[in-house]
Chains A and B, each alone.
Chain A
Amino acid sequence: MTSETLLTVKNLAVSFTTSKGPINAVRGVSFDLGRERLGIVGESGSGKSQTGRAILGLTASNGTITADEMQFRDVDLRNLSPRQWRKVRGARISMIMQDPKYSLNPVMTIGDQIIEAYREHHKVGTKEATHRAIEMLEAVKIRDPQRVFKSYPHEVSGGMGQRVMIAMMLIPDPELLIADEPTSALDVTVQLQVMAILDDLVRERGMALIFISHDLHLVSSFCDRVLVMYQGHVVEEIRASELDLAKHPYTRGLLNCLPKMDGNHDDLPVLQRQASWAEG
């Protein structure tokens, strides 16, 4: 991790008003992010995705965000107007969602979608944009960029679709990329190939990456640092290389309940949740 801090989040809370009363999805999350790969891990409902969405101002309209500090370089991310958000979203902070099937426009060719994303942020002609789009498709290791450029999303595989998403998100050259379960819908080998592409791009462009996932092992083999979330709190922050030294019983429980390839058919240890974990 370098000393330069890109993003500071202090005491972030996200709550939703619902017909059944308020739901506190994120409660008092704080972290600093440099030019590094930060993993946020947790189970469904732990608030990991809501943390990512709050940074990008994508919280649903019935939700409120409060924070003591949310500073991204020179921008205070609290209370930006929609107009100010447009200068940050996509251009400086970008996000990759889980399933390319739902995040790509099904009735527009892939090339047109990338061009649209590029021209939203750069005043260039179609020819220049087309050229850049093909270049980006090459950068995410798509072997036949010309063909993919003219294809519709349903004509490409899941792994290819996710590469297209990455290409589209990276074309404005953001400083921070938030990837929310970007590979969970993919086969294991394809998953790792997509991660390798992210890895290269982060290195080459000196970008910061927040990688949100439920897979503690995968995240720790990929990221520099990991935040483990439980019911809206960060229960443990740990260097990925020191995962074996995790202290919190929740982190240890998550690691232990994974089936291992040791030929052993005994019952898996089951996570015993304690009410005190939720109090942070």
Chain B
Amino acid sequence: MIEIENLNAWFGENHVLKDVSLKVPTNGSFGLVGESGSGKSTVLRTMTGLVDDWEGIMVVGGHELARKRNKDFYRQVQMVFQDPFGSLHPRHTIDRILSEPVAVHGLGNSDARVIRVLEQVGLDNSFRFRYPHQLSGGQRQRVSIARALILEPRVLLLDEPTSALDVSIQAEVLNLLAALRRDLGLTYIMVSHDLAVVAHVCDDIAIMNHGRIVERATASQLAQGSLEHPYSQQLYKAAGGYDRAVVDSFVDWD
């Protein structure tokens, strides 16, 4: 479904993605893990056309991406952002937030679409005419997911979709994402700093550092902790909680 080869990107003089290559099969789920500044979100932003200065080959659904993305691309590929507070318009009702992409793409029948997509993300119809501030964080993130789903895309790009949520809510949203992938045959690329979240959702995982993929692993390799690159080992150990001896073994990766 998705093939990226030797993707490089720049922010001005700053070389932020260095020869990133990845492949995701249809209905697969690929995880990108790394710390802030590692370039993991930039991969998604470059795919969706939010970064202008890039080189390389990106193929989505059999079509090579050109400099400009057309409408068809956005019907196929949608993105869910980290912060459900910042990504929903505070003065638009949920109904308006969800109908807008339908209008932009001229799909029509927006009433039925809104009702169906709310049901898919587990919100009942009473949410339809509320405003974002009347919803909890988890409900808001469900609305963000609904907004992405309303165009019936094939691919969801998930940029830290649960890191702003409480762990109990995170579990609900992760279960929702798993169910949607199963039921709708979606393909995911998920970006997260949390190794456990990515290991839970994704089959294939890449660990990024300073714009480069330093290691690739499958979920079962990660479960066994069989990582080779010292940077990924360090991340793996850090996920285990506070341990004085482990902290002392940390080095900075420049």
Contact = CB atoms under 8 A, between A and B. Distances in A.
B171 A195 contact: no
Contact of B220 (A195, A263, A267): A263
A261 B199 contact: yes
B199 A271 contact: no
A193 interface: yes
B175 to A, nearest CB: 5
A188 B179 CA distance: 28
Contacts of B196: 258-261
B238 interface: yes
Contacts of B169: 43
A221 interface: yes
Interface string B187-212: 00000011111011101000000000
Interface in A116-159: 158
Interface footprint category on A: 35 or more
Interface stretch (B8-16, B51-59, B142-150, B242-250): B242-250
Given A221-B243, A265-B178, A268-B174, A257 B250 contact: no
B99 to A, nearest CB: 29
A245 interface: no
B234 to A, nearest CB: 6
A254 B171 CA distance: 10
A216 B178 CA distance: 24
A60 interface: no
B235 A261 contact: no
A43 B138 CA distance: 12
A225 interface: no
Contacts of B124: none
B241 A270 contact: no
B222 interface: yes
A217 B241 contact: yes
B175 A270 contact: yes
B223 A257 contact: no
B114 interface: no
| Chain B interface main SS type | helix
Nearest to B38: A187
A193 B174 contact: no
Interface in A239-277: 253-254, 257-265, 267-271
A275 to B, nearest CB: 16
Given A43-B166, A263-B219, A265-B219, A192 B250 contact: yes
Nearest to B221: A263
B36 A268 contact: no
A158 B234 CA distance: 19
Nearest to B223: A263
A266 B175 CA distance: 8
Contacts of B199: 259-263
Nearest to A42: B166
| Closest 8 pairs between A and B when the two form their complex, measured CB to CB | A221-B241, A263-B223, A259-B200, A257-B171, A271-B168, A187-B35, A268-B171, A263-B220
Interface of A: 43-44, 158, 187-193, 195-196, 199, 214-218, 220-222, 253-254, 257-265, 267-271
28 contacts: A43-B167, A43-B168, A44-B166, A187-B35, A189-B238, A190-B35, A191-B238, A192-B242, A192-B246, A199-B242, A217-B241, A218-B242, A253-B168, A254-B167, A258-B171, A259-B170, A259-B171, A259-B194, A261-B199, A262-B199, A263-B220, A263-B224, A265-B219, A267-B178, A267-B179, A268-B171, A268-B175, A270-B175
